[in-house]
Structure 1
């Protein structure tokens, strides 16, 4: 029994570490590609064009996450599921933006808050994928 508990604890630790790695990769992608877009003169405003600004940011975060996941040996399906967590917040939030219920900054904050449990849900869906070493 102690062996099972110890092994189970280690696999949940790997799961937690992988989650943190995904968050870091997401932000590295976002900040790195934002620097590239800025250097190319592409600056989207959360107040002026919030939909495009959000979609570009979600793309940037997805690139970072996908690169890290593929480097770690994950298949495309779980990688794309994790990337989908970056885009899913637009489903309820864009209509609220279009109806004037929220503004661009609220969209950004709410979407970022929603991403974290969506990432966790994607990982829990394939728990074995994220509790074993790659």
Structure 2
């Protein structure tokens, strides 16, 4: 009587891609927070310097500035970690599109400024996960810092 042995995959190996995906996602979210904190004072200073501080009172422009702050830092982090330009561009689109879509109901008076910010950020997080799902291989394995030549 012969028995066949089947190879079993250790349970930790099955979860490595999910952990890598979650780690990439969290790294980008942290980079976004760093961008908001670090770049917001720069925008305020520039707006004050050119005498356009009233522009920041507009919720649509404030949302675009905030998305830009987050995108700059997140894109820099992704590039440092070795991601290519296409995934970076997709992730940048995920940062802006939720807000741009919500501008229509904002301008129509259907949502408030607070709703724009809350819904925009929540939809941004969903859009980021969606962009990551477009390229699972990009986000389920370890990336290393880009080699400096």
- Does TM-score exceed 0.5, indicating one fold? yes
1:17 aligns with 2:17: no
1:61 aligns with 2:67: no
The Cα offsets for residues 6-31 of structure 1, whole Å up to 9 and x where unpaired, read as 32311211111111101101111111
TM-score (norm 2): 0.81
Paired residue for 1:51, among 43, 47, 60?
60
The Cα offsets for residues 102-122 of structure 1, whole Å up to 9 and x where unpaired, read as 122211111011111111011
Name structure 2 gaps, 5 residues minimum.
1-6, 144-149
- What is the distance in 1 between the residues matched to 2:109 and 2:15? 47
Paired residue for 2:14, among 8, 19, 23?
8
Equivalences for 1:90-109 in 2 at 5 Å? 90-109=99-118
User: Which stretch of the first structure deviates more once superposed, 16-25 or 88-97?
Assistant: 88-97
1:110 aligns with 2:116: no
1:87 aligns with 2:93: no
Change (3 A) 1:81 1:4: farther
Name structure 1 gaps, 5 residues minimum.
none
- What is the distance in 1 between the residues matched to 2:94 and 2:101? 13
- What is the distance in 2 between the residues matched to 1:121 and 1:61? 17
Change (3 A) 1:4 1:128: farther
